[in-house]
Amino acid sequence: MSAKQNILGVTRDDLTDFFTQHGGSAFHAKEVMEAVYRNEQRDFSKITAITERYRALLEEHFTIALPKIVKVQGSEDTTRKYLFQLEDGRYIESVLIPATPLEDGTRSERMTVCVSSQVGCAYGCKFCASGLDGLTRNLTSAEIISQLVAIREHSGRHITNVVFMGMGEPLANFKNLNPALDIITGHWGLHLAPRSVTVSTSGLVPMIRKLAERENQVSLAISLHGATNEVRDKIMPVNAKWDVDELFDALHYFASTNNQRITLEYILIKGINDDLEQARILAEKAKKLGGFVNLIPYNTVEGLEWERPSDAHCKLFRDTVKGLGVMTTMRLEKGHDIDAACGQLRLKEMKKTAAEA
């Protein structure tokens, strides 16, 4: 691997420091950021807004590297799944999700990308494909940003929303997540509204507090999947470290610093967490928090025995939560389960590679 740094992981402040140390100034950083993000310039030698000397300096210290696109699944106007290969040969995946058409047939402009934050995951939730082999490594800030840049270039779409719901636990990689969030939301960077960027976590309590203290506040989603310790303990080992009460204390703290509603993600797994008593407790907690609930009928994972409840039961669960006055969404459409759950495309590719070896 080259010793040069991928510029896609560098914030404007850091680039300013770099130029200042080399006789330049904030002006140079501003021009370079504009060339890279606004003009999609991929060749430093063509950034004519700065002089030859600074172009040479850039080439000496930086690269602009995008991950290799191994596979794209799905088509225009539908959810498109990208499998990427990183410089060290590891696979990660990201998903481009256009807004579903509104009832009158029109489409909103919303174009969401779901990104990965790690290769694998250390948290080992029992239902999840990403955690099956544990954590391999953190993604660098550049590897996080380059998923967005690569998808923007490949699809030609303007990205309006980003969710950290791909592989990995973003809050376990806070040191690289934090600058990546600056680059995504910076007006000099990808320039997304902070509230359109959502970090999803399985419940790393101290890091939720840290995220709350960020200057540019992003939105938060919690993979709750159980409304009580009894249920959560069965499926999410992280609950042994920070239980439901500690988690909700941190969520109330987050809510007090941020006026965005927190999303409570709740996968429905047959016979595990789909009891209507859970729906009632979930609704009560969501209401107190002023959050909303997103119900996700479980996507089966090859090799795991979990199943999704019947559509009728999912609806009943939803109506129970809704009936208690909580904003609730649930998507039941099919096709969503074509490798839709995070980590599954990568799993397939790894199995294929192993079979071919």
- Minimum Å gap between C-beta 201 and ligand SAH is 5
Q: What is the DSSP string of 143-154?
A: HHHHHHHHHHHH
Q: Which partner from the list ligand SF4, ligand SAH, none does 36 bind, CB cut-off 5 to 8 Å by kind?
A: none
- Minimum Å gap between C-beta 310 and ligand SAH is 16
- Minimum Å gap between C-beta 112 and ligand SAH is 13
Site for ligand SF4 in 91-150 (CB under 6 A): 121, 123-125, 128, 130-131
Distant-in-sequence, close-in-space partners of 346: CB < 8 Å, separation ≥ 6: 83, 91, 92, 93, 129, 167
Residue nearer to ligand SF4 on the CB measure, 47 or 95:
95
- Minimum Å gap between C-beta 308 and ligand SF4 is 16
Residues 94 and 114 sit within 8 Å (Cβ to Cβ):
yes
Alpha-carbon gap, residue 341 to 84, rounded angstroms = 16
Q: Which partner from the list ligand SF4, ligand SAH, none does 296 bind, CB cut-off 5 to 8 Å by kind?
A: ligand SAH
93 included as an active-site residue: yes
- Residue positions counted in the chain: 357
Helix (H) or strand (E) holding 315: helix 311-323
Residue nearer to ligand SF4 on the CB measure, 304 or 332:
304
Site for ligand SF4 in 211-230 (CB under 6 A): 223
Q: Which residues on neighbouring strands pair with residue 120, listed in sequence order? A: 135
User: Is residue 224 marked as binding?
Assistant: yes
User: Is residue 225 marked as binding?
Assistant: yes
Residues 169 and 121 sit within 8 Å (Cβ to Cβ):
yes
Residue nearer to ligand SAH on the CB measure, 12 or 285:
285
Residue nearer to ligand SAH on the CB measure, 307 or 319:
307
Residue of 292, 321, 131 lying closest to 221 (CA atoms): 292
Extract the runs of DSSP E, i.e. beta strands, from 64-171: 68-73, 80-85, 91-98, 111-114, 118-120, 135-138, 161-164
- Minimum Å gap between C-beta 170 and ligand SAH is 6
User: Is residue 121 marked as binding?
Assistant: yes
User: Is residue 52 marked as binding?
Assistant: no
Residue nearer to ligand SF4 on the CB measure, 65 or 220:
220
- Candidate list 93, 114, 143, 314, residue with the active-site label: 93
Extract the runs of DSSP E, i.e. beta strands, from 99-218: 111-114, 118-120, 135-138, 161-164, 197-201
Q: Nearest 10 degrees: CA dihedral of 341, 299, 200, 257?
A: 150
In one-letter notation, the amino acid at residue 168 is G
Residues noted as catalytic: 93, 342
Which residues participate in the annotated binding site for S-adenosyl-L-methionine? 168-169, 200, 223-225, 299
Which residues participate in the annotated binding site for [4Fe-4S] cluster? 121, 125, 128
Binding positions for ligand SF4, rule: CB under 6 A: 121, 123-125, 128, 130-131, 168-169, 202, 223
Which residues participate in the annotated binding site? 121, 125, 128, 168-169, 200, 223-225, 299
